[in-house]
Amino acid sequence: MTKIAFQGERGAFSEDAATRFFGTHIDFLPCAYLRDVFQAVLTEEVPFGMVPVENSQAGSINDTYDLLLSYPLNIFAELILRVHHCLMALPGQSLAEITAVYSHPQALAQCDKFLSQLQVETIPAYDTAGSAKMIKEKHLRDCAAIANSRAADIYGLEVLASGIETNPHNYTRFFAISKQKTRPARENKTSLVFAVKHVSGALYSILGIFAARDINLTKLESRPSRDKPWEYVFYADFEGHVDSEIYRGVIEELREKTTFLRLLGSYPKSEERLA
């Protein structure tokens, strides 16, 4: 049985993403921190990890991007998950009895309209599913957690309200990470990180490499360099797989025009429909 590492408690959205991609016949290794997920894959305690990389509302998850640069692992696959938030509490509790709601700060922010109507105290916690687990283990009455419906099933809580996110277009992008590489699929993406010299037009020349070949650059984002203050590296995604000749040529030209370049992986594009 394949074992998948993820950050958080059982019932986290990362577990949901792993199940969507790998199927239900898998085992899990919950980790306290994102770094622990990468370490478990690196040491071959597990063959795969599932990590969140970007949310359509909150933007990039910087810790994940920093760890992708730090660890010699491959992006094996991409999955885009529609995020549905639920309010859950101990069995027998009613919505009118709830006075406090626990969850990850991002989940609380994403449900701000619903929570303002309840007029309850909101209490940040380190994890969505962890909040549900805490309410169950501590038997916290008049308290609720925001998490996904899987967490309610795992911890024996009742869902008091579902679909409580303010924006219905709430998606999180996940990467499956591994020591393994994946074969080209019908539609592929490639992720890489690079740095350029501090000279006029340096980044423009990089973008020209993609434009000249009519390659769709789907993401470009800068992050501070961990080695030098006020210097930056660029994370980029483009459509295509480096196993094909045209994209190998792109990488060769990029290496000539960058001061640093590392491929993070070529992988199948997520088939999730944004509807």
Which residue numbers are catalytic?
172, 174
Measured from the Cβ of residue 151, the count of other Cβ atoms closer than 10 Å reads: 31
* Coil, helix or strand at residue 102: strand
What is the rounded distance in angstroms from the CA atom of residue 13 to the CA atom of residue 17? 6
What is the rounded distance in angstroms from the CA atom of residue 38 to the CA atom of residue 21? 18
Helix (H) or strand (E) holding 160: strand 158-162
Nearest Cα to Cα of residue 106 among 128, 88, 121:
128
What is the rounded distance in angstroms from the CA atom of residue 6 to the CA atom of residue 41? 10
Q: How many CA atoms lie within 13 A of 126 on its CB side?
A: 10
Q: Would you mind telling me the total number of residues written for the chain in this entry?
A: 275
Sequence-ordered strand ranges (E) for 33-120? 48-55, 59-60, 74-82, 86-89, 100-103
Computed from CA positions of residues 254, 241, 56, 41, in that sequence, does the dihedral angle turn out positive or negative? negative
Q: Which residues have C-beta within 8 Å of that of residue 49, sequence separation ≥ 6?
A: 4, 5, 6, 37, 38, 40, 41, 176, 177, 178
Nearest Cα to Cα of residue 147 among 82, 103, 111, 117:
103
